Copies of this chain bind each other. A is one copy, B any other.
């Protein structure tokens, strides 16, 4: 039936939703909370219809997400029907039953996902089934292609290089060092990166301290023509809208099925036209991958899927049980990366960055096997990487001559002190992440942590082991509370816990 649009300015955060008068709900032979198909000119989408007397019969109350999808305005007429039968429900059930899906079935799932035909429940059912039953590498390739095909495609006209990390280690600002090194050597590297979901700072958040990161595909093409490199937020490019929808369900479920991780990463590489990539797999206690065996298996899968898709993948397992460098949080990390490009910076950041950059230089034929790291270090030391970074910042509308001192850092600080003399035995990634998040990262750019000592450092009783930075006393106090609860580090010989009060349990 045709209903008249009444725009309602309500943001559901992603869920497609409309409001109908109970009379129309009855006409459609449906119940409140069920889904309807909406058609307007060439656009169509599926939405959940709630029932309300606030919308007159003959009208349909359109909330923001649906308005954007259909591109309708007040007073337009849309076709509303209750005939919503996603064909992919059967495929999801098949995976639940442990059977192998065909390319067509996987395409149907991804297609129905993107057109909104699948509910959150359906998507959760698929992801949980995938988590338990797994996907074969062939299915993973199909999934990767299906996700890539739903998004924008880019072509830079020549060989394109990329660095990617599967994530999970705080303070991992290496992309801000690797990209300019690789680009300074003459390789094309259009780095698209993510914003933090659960971490203190994604590469896109860190880069945003120095330059803009939200660009369209056309704008990115221009940046690449000027600077031959970029560090932008992939989310703005619409490279893999299906992946964003999967992540919206994976995140609250706190699952990240391996095949989904591989497809998510490789689909975006496929869309960006990458031919050569180095993949950082942080491994160890507190990482996504905890053992070398697991890392080896994952590498095998990435390389195999890459081969099928025409992408040469070089996997590098890196030590991931403590943060990279000393800084955690957007501004603190941007500052540390800039210092490193200027000739300073911590050893762990320099070694990891040049190691990974070196692999790309070797893949690009600019260094013989094993000589890449040395070349990367030379480029870093020569100041060419810094010069390239300033070009990238300029191309992305930042201040090219920015200095580390200019970067604003939170002014409310608190030092966590060593309780005893000794060596730092452990730094707990997850605890550090939670303290940094409590301090306000990634939304508050100046919030974060600075580690004065790393694992193995000798500290004296009363020495600061780490400093918390926040922009308000309230957030600082939140972060201190979290820190006192979680014990983010241990010093050999310190008492781990003393208890006198049952309330402490």
Residues of B close to A13: CB separation below 8 A: 31-34, 50-51
Contact A33 B15 (CB under 8 A): yes
Question: Is A124 interfacial (CB-CB < 8 Å)?
Answer: yes
The contact size tier of chain A is: 35 or more
CB < 8 Å neighbour of A125 from B14, B22, B253: B253
Contact A9 B54 (CB under 8 A): yes
User: Min CB distance, A247 to chain B, in Å?
Assistant: 12
Q: How far is the CA of A359 from the CA of B252 in the complex (A)?
A: 49
Number of copies: 2
Contact B119 A128 (CB under 8 A): no
Contact status of A121 and B120, CB under 8 A, knowing A12-B50, A32-B13, A132-B133: yes
Residues of B close to A252: CB separation below 8 A: 119, 121-122
Of residues 8 through 36 on chain A, the ones whose CB sits less than 8 Å from some CB of chain B are 8-15, 17, 19, 22, 31-34
Question: Is A45 interfacial (CB-CB < 8 Å)?
Answer: no
User: Min CB distance, A109 to chain B, in Å?
Assistant: 14
Q: A63: nearest residue on chain B (CB-CB)?
A: B50
Question: Is A265 interfacial (CB-CB < 8 Å)?
Answer: no
Residues of B close to A12: CB separation below 8 A: 32-33, 50-51
Contact B50 A10 (CB under 8 A): yes
Q: How far is the CA of A443 from the CA of B238 in the complex (A)?
A: 44
Question: Is A89 interfacial (CB-CB < 8 Å)?
Answer: yes
Q: How far is the CA of A121 from the CA of B126 in the complex (A)?
A: 11
Question: Is A283 interfacial (CB-CB < 8 Å)?
Answer: no
Residues of B close to A255: CB separation below 8 A: 93, 96, 125
Q: A440: nearest residue on chain B (CB-CB)?
A: B29
Contact A249 B31 (CB under 8 A): no
Residues of B close to A15: CB separation below 8 A: 33
Contact B10 A131 (CB under 8 A): no
User: Min CB distance, A307 to chain B, in Å?
Assistant: 31
Q: How far is the CA of A153 from the CA of B9 in the complex (A)?
A: 45
Question: Is A502 interfacial (CB-CB < 8 Å)?
Answer: no
Residues of B close to A19: CB separation below 8 A: 10
Residues of B close to A53: CB separation below 8 A: 9
Question: Is A353 interfacial (CB-CB < 8 Å)?
Answer: no
Q: A52: nearest residue on chain B (CB-CB)?
A: B10
Question: Is A340 interfacial (CB-CB < 8 Å)?
Answer: no
Contact A96 B31 (CB under 8 A): no
Contact A124 B128 (CB under 8 A): yes
Residues of B close to A93: CB separation below 8 A: 254-255
Contact B121 A253 (CB under 8 A): yes
Of residues 33 through 89 on chain A, the ones whose CB sits less than 8 Å from some CB of chain B are 33-34, 50-54, 63, 89
Of residues 141 through 199 on chain A, the ones whose CB sits less than 8 Å from some CB of chain B are none
Q: How far is the CA of A312 from the CA of B473 in the complex (A)?
A: 64
Residues of B close to A249: CB separation below 8 A: 121
Q: A127: nearest residue on chain B (CB-CB)?
A: B125
Q: A51: nearest residue on chain B (CB-CB)?
A: B11
Question: Is A129 interfacial (CB-CB < 8 Å)?
Answer: yes
Residues of B close to A119: CB separation below 8 A: 120, 252
Q: How far is the CA of A15 from the CA of B253 in the complex (A)?
A: 18
Instruction: Give 1 or 0 for each of A208-245: 1 = CB within 8 Å of chain B CB.
Output: 00000000000000000000000000000000000000
Residues of B close to A52: CB separation below 8 A: 8-11
Contact B122 A121 (CB under 8 A): no
Residues of B close to A254: CB separation below 8 A: 89, 93
Instruction: Give 1 or 0 for each of A110-139: 1 = CB within 8 Å of chain B CB.
Output: 000000000111111100110111000000
Residues of B close to A133: CB separation below 8 A: 132
User: Min CB distance, A394 to chain B, in Å?
Assistant: 32
CB < 8 Å neighbour of A120 from B50, B89, B120: B120
Q: How far is the CA of A17 from the CA of B33 in the complex (A)?
A: 12
User: Min CB distance, A249 to chain B, in Å?
Assistant: 6
Contact status of A10 and B96, CB under 8 A, knowing A128-B125, A132-B132, A253-B121: no
Q: A475: nearest residue on chain B (CB-CB)?
A: B29
Nearest 9 pairs between A and B by C-beta?
A13-B33, A13-B32, A124-B124, A11-B51, A10-B52, A128-B128, A121-B124, A11-B32, A12-B50
In the assembled complex, 21 residue pairs joining A and B whose CB atoms fall closer than 8 Å, in A order, are A10-B50, A10-B54, A11-B22, A12-B50, A12-B51, A13-B31, A13-B32, A13-B50, A15-B33, A50-B63, A89-B254, A93-B254, A93-B255, A96-B131, A96-B132, A98-B132, A121-B249, A121-B252, A125-B253, A128-B129, A129-B132
- Interface contacts beyond A11-B52, A14-B33, A121-B123: sample of 18 additional A-B pairs, CB < 8 Å, sorted by A: A9-B53, A10-B19, A11-B22, A11-B32, A11-B51, A12-B51, A13-B33, A17-B50, A50-B63, A96-B131, A119-B252, A120-B121, A121-B121, A122-B252, A124-B124, A125-B253, A128-B128, A129-B132
